[in-house]
A and B are shown apart, each in its own frame.
Chain A
C-alpha cells in the first residue's frame, strides 16, 4: 500500500512538473486583408470569425480572408505557408519552456512581381499557448494591410 502511494506521488509529481517538450505543436494562422471602409458594423469573412475579438483593437472594419489554416509542426521543422502571391509565411517551432510556452521563429517573406524576395518581418516569439499574436503593418498590393494572426499550442 505504501509502495503504491509513493509510486502515485512520484507519478503525480512527474506529471505536474515535467512539461511536454517533445511533441509537435498545433499551429493556426489567419491571414486577412484589412481595410477601413467606415462601416457601421465590422465585416468579417466567415473564415475569420475566430479572430474577431483579437483584432477588435485594430483600426479596421473590413477583414477579407486571404488564407487560413491549421497545421501540426514538429520542433525544429521549417514549414512554409504560402499566403498569396505577395507574402508567404515560414514557421519553425524552436522549443517549449517549463511553462509550456512555445518559442516560434516566424518569417513573413515578401516576393515582388519581379520575383525578388526579402524578409518583411521575422519575429522570434515565446508564445503563450492559446494566446494569439497578430502582426500588422505590411502593405498589400491590392490595397489595405496584411493582418496575420497566429496561435500555437
Chain B
C-alpha cells in the first residue's frame, strides 16, 4: 500500500484542525495517495454516522406492526412438548433435591458396632485376661495376675 508523509496532515485537515487548510487542499489535488486516504476517512465517518441512526417504522407499516402484536397477544397457547419436558424436569429436580437433603440431614443409619477386643497379650506368667461390656457402654479389660512380680 502506498503511503504519503502528509497523511497525518490530511487527518488533521479532515478533523478540521489543519494549520494550513489551503495547502492541504492543494496537496490533495496533486497527491492520489492522500486523496484516497481522505476518501477512506470520509467513508468511515459516514458509516459510523449511519449506524447511529435508529431504525424507524415507516407510517404505512405501523398498522401492520400493531396488528402483529395484537395477534401475538390473542393467539391461544398451543400444547407444547417443550412445556411437558420442562415440567417433568422440574418435578425430577425437586425429587432429587429432596433426596439430597434427606441424605445430608438424615444419613443412613449405620449398624451400631460395639467396641471389640480383638487380641490381648501379656508377658505375665500365669495371668488371665477377661473382658466384658458394662451397662454404661464402656468395656472392661481385666487382667488377673498370679503374683508375678517383676524384679
Which of B's residues lie within 8 Å of A, judged by CB? 89-90, 92-93, 96-97, 99-104, 107-108, 110-111, 113-124, 129, 131, 134-145, 149-151
Question: SS class of chain A's interface: helix, strand, loop or mixed?
Answer: mixed
Q: Is the CB of A132 closer than 8 A to any CB of chain B?
A: yes
Say whether chain B's binding surface is mostly helix, strand, loop, or mixed: mixed
Residue in chain A with minimal CB distance to B118? A124
**Which residues of the other chain, B, contact A11 by a CB distance below 8 angstroms?**
100, 104
Q: Are B115 and A128 in contact (CB under 8 A)?
A: yes
Asked if residues B151 and A114 are in contact (CB atoms below 8 Å), the reply is yes
Min CB distance, A85 to chain B, in Å?
A: 13
Instruction: Known contacts A2-B96, A110-B150; decide if A125 and B115 are in contact (CB<8 Å).
Output: yes
- Quote the shortest CB–CB distance from A101 to chain B (angstroms): 6
Contacts from A to B (Cβ < 8 Å)? 1-2, 4-6, 8-9, 11-13, 15-17, 53-54, 56-58, 97-99, 101, 103, 110, 112, 114, 116, 118-128, 131-139, 149
Q: Tell me whether B138 and A54 are in contact (CB under 8 A).
A: yes
Contact of A137 among B101, B104, B118, B145 (CB under 8 A): B145
Contact A99 B113 (CB under 8 A): yes
Do the beta carbons of A8 and B113 come within 8 Å of each other? no
User: Judging by beta carbons under 8 Å apart, are A135 and B141 in contact?
Assistant: yes
- Contact check, A119 vs B141: say whether CB atoms are below 8 A apart: no
Q: Given that A6-B96, A118-B150 are contacting pairs, would A135 and B138 also be in contact in the complex, using a CB cutoff of 8 Å?
A: no
Q: Report which residue of A8, A57, A137 has the largest number of chain B beta carbons within 10 angstroms of its beta carbon.
A: A137
